[in-house]
Structure 1
Amino acid sequence: MSRWSDHLEALRSVAKKRPKLNAPSIKTPAFMSRTTIWIDGRHARTFGGAPMPLSSANDVAAALKAIETLAPKPANLGLHALRVVVGAPFARYHALPWQPLPKPQDWVAAARVQAVQMGAGTEAWRYAVTDGAWEQGRLAAAISEALCAGIERLCKTRKLQLLGIEPAYTFAMQKHAARIREGAIAIVALEETERDAAIAHIGLRRGGGWTAFIALPVTRTREGALDGVLRDAFALCADTPPERRYVIGPGGPGGPDARERWSADAALVEWLPAPWDAAT
């Protein structure tokens, strides 16, 4: 009995010497972290963070330098993960007409052929094609191969788990999949390049399949600038105006005057917040 009492007293004395767990000087090491970085031709930022201008616009080397600055630098062993969401001009898209191709890799090969026919140039790109039902067109997305390879090297060097290198348009669309109803629709991802300028990535769907895709610049020189760009897109794609239009862009519902800044006819548009927007 006395030995047990002695043991309790010893534990109490050790506990008194230990700092309190909630003391401000004690910091619990982060053994797990997850970081998502947005990158486009002008700036990079972590989701919810302030933008970092690239040292050289539309340059892969400058983009990789910015990603290296923002990516985790783990000081402790653990699970530290990185995801990179890629905007223009490092990501591009085009609609693929239906072909009886049974294997996913066959669709990727078809996307490469179509890109060459459209004048893609000699730069290497990494392709992915959305899944879809039989007899429905699909969407191809491509990201700069040099950018992908640089991100993979960074993760290997810093021992980061790479969660994905994802095209911004398909990333945003997947985030809002539950809000988007099928039919004759347009899905627009609005990537701001400046306060009054943006790139509108416009995808058209009908009956659950992709029928067309086009990217056009938007300059807010007058009220309803996006409305005019959408009319041009429907004409260029030889498509009738869709039943519904979804715009994934800055601000979203209740955001900082997003509708007024970009679209005069808000009744035709359902605004959804951009996942990479610092305001969301």
Structure 2
Amino acid sequence: MTPNPKMVGSGEGLQDVIKLFLEQGITSSPVINPVGEILGALTELGLVKAYMLHKLKLMKNDRVGHHIDLLEPISYIDINTPVADALRAMLASPTHRLLVRDEKNKVVGIISPKDLMRGMLGEANPMQNIRQKLKETENMLRESLSILKNLKENLKVYRTVFHETPYMMHAVDRDGKILMANKREHETLGYPDGALIGKTIFDIYSPSMHDEARKGLEQVIKTGHQNVIYTSLVKKDGSTIRCDIVSSAIVDNNGNFVSTISALRPVDSEELLRSLHGIVSDSRYVNKS
């Protein structure tokens, strides 16, 4: 099928249409009036007849629309018409061309005998096409299994690191859903082992930190990491703890984001205040003016 077939306007001159047919290799074209209605099909023979009538002074006007009696009836088929039915319609058509309409009755293409021959050539080897599709599917499946195997191996390593580190650690997907959380994080936040899996970061971050958490997740997905920041987590009993957190991205072999990997360290508020007080009290930081 040739999509978006060239339409000849009923107001176009015969000489211009001849040039169009020759330059674009057109043998038949639908003719439309100014309101978009298809009047019929102008064939090469019809175009020659119209031009000769004009040159012989038998027809004064050289516009296509004044030679409407030389147009052939248009034959239409639905876009989902089988090849066999299209062939029967083409044999019955005086132009041996078929306009193709979509579900909204809009003309989306034109079919010539050559298009049908291409279609029949494809149908002559259906098993070859099926075998090719199966081969492509098999290759895609093999590649997917390879990626999955590598991901499982990577996640196994991360799980080992999770349970041996003294820090709280968790991994979340791009929606913030917790995929893994180590024993230290469960204990620190007061949850039974495994209870954090399936929750989201918005369940364990203080409400005032939700916007910051969302931006941090977006940054890790986009850049692959987030520098150390301070945040506040909510324990199961409702109390909060201050933490510093650093995050990176886990990606597959193709560089596609899989999850974050974050390490968190509780910060002693009293110790933090003492440190700040020490900085403020240090004569080097005091404004002596």
TM-score greater than 0.5 by the shorter chain: no
Choose between structure 1 and 2: higher strand proportion.
1
Tell me: higher relative CO, structure 1 or 2? Use CA pairs within 8 A at least 6 residues apart. 1
Structure number with greater Rg is 2
| Superposition TM-score, scaled by structure 2 size | 0.22
Choose between structure 1 and 2: higher helix proportion.
2
